[in-house]
Copies of this chain bind each other. A is one copy, B any other.
Amino acid sequence: MPISDPAVSRLPLYRAIAAEALGRGEAFISCTTIAEQLNLRPVLVRKDLESTGISGQPRRGFRTSELLRSLEESLAWGGLNKACLIGAGRLGSALLEYPHFSRFGLNLLAGFDIDRSKVGLTIGGKPVYPLERLASFARQEGVLIAVLTVPAEAAQRAADLAVQAGIRGLWNFSEVQPVVPSEVIVQRVELAASLALLSKRMTEAFRSQGAAPGLSKALGEHIPFNA
């Protein structure tokens, strides 16, 4: 069953709602109620769930526990994927401390850093090792995914090391798009895109209310640009 990229992006949202519903003890949940909470059309949710293969019961909806299980299975694509994190700075630490990646199929095992002051720490229950140990660790554990949370300057070098370590997928939080062999997948986390969309949606909202374009201008002031 083919599933589109937009649909895949929405699965985690459905998962969160199913988990919440299950926590409230709701045995069944319908596409309509899921859609309501996300401001989506019910039929879109239906189509998305259909393409994951799960099926519901007419009149009742989807069995919540089954839906949750199916969604998490879909997100992991067959198994928990081992990963390590490169760059244990503030952002990297925040990710190491996040305890629920397993819900999305990610099994974050350890952090790596060149900074000796970070090496030896345990963050979120995960050890931080020196970067030189990445290759041996990754190969021994069969790690295929690396989370890249290094400064822009270090991104290419870190990516190179990851590739040498046998990594096949990079979850890239840095701003640079590292050059990698074609068989390695780089998925960039697009914070700026999200911010740009917020900006656009706010501007549209203000415009439709008759306010002048420019968010700051809506309050009658303007902050000039600095490159």
**Residues of A participating in the B interface, judged by any CB pair closer than 8 Å:** 3, 5, 8-13, 15-16, 37-38, 68-69, 72-73, 75-82, 89-91, 93-94, 97, 101-102, 104-107, 142, 144-145, 168-169, 171, 175-177, 183, 185, 187-203, 205-206, 209, 213-219, 221-227
Can you sample 25 A-B contacts with CB below 8 Å?
A: A5-B197, A12-B190, A12-B192, A12-B193, A15-B192, A16-B176, A72-B225, A75-B192, A75-B196, A78-B213, A79-B224, A80-B216, A80-B225, A82-B216, A82-B223, A90-B91, A90-B94, A102-B226, A144-B215, A168-B205, A168-B206, A183-B205, A187-B198, A187-B201, A188-B194
CB distance from A193 to the nearest CB of B (A): 4
| A76-B199 in contact given A90-B90, A175-B16, A190-B9 (Cβ < 8 Å) | yes
Q: Which of B37, B90, B202, B225 interacts with A177 by CB under 8 Å? A: B37
Given contacts A142-B221, A168-B205, contact A77 B200 (CB under 8 A): yes
- Between A15, A199, A218, the greatest number of chain B beta carbons within 10 A of the residue's beta carbon is seen for A199
Instruction: Please name all residues of chain B whose beta carbon is closer than 8 Å to the beta carbon of A194 when the two chains form the complex.
Output: 171, 187-190
Please measure, in the bound complex, the distance between the C-alpha atom of A168 and the C-alpha atom of B192, giving whole angstroms: 19
A78 and B75 alpha carbons, distance in the complex (Å): 39
Across the interface, name the chain B residue whose C-beta is closest to A16.
B175
Whole-angstrom distance from the CB of A111 to the nearest CB of chain B?
13
Q: Which DSSP category, helix, strand, loop or mixed, fits chain A's interface?
A: helix
Which of B145, B190, B219, B224 makes the CB contact (< 8 A) with A215? Answer: B145
Minimal Cβ-Cβ distance residue in B for A9 = B193
User: Do A9 and B97 touch (CB < 8 A)?
Assistant: no
Is B8 in contact with A78, judged by CB distance below 8 angstroms? no
- Given pairs A8-B197, A169-B199, A185-B202, 14 additional interface contacts (CB within 8 A): A5-B200, A12-B193, A72-B225, A75-B196, A77-B199, A77-B202, A77-B203, A78-B213, A78-B217, A81-B202, A144-B202, A145-B215, A185-B198, A187-B197
- On whether the beta carbons of A8 and B225 are closer than 8 Å, the reply is no
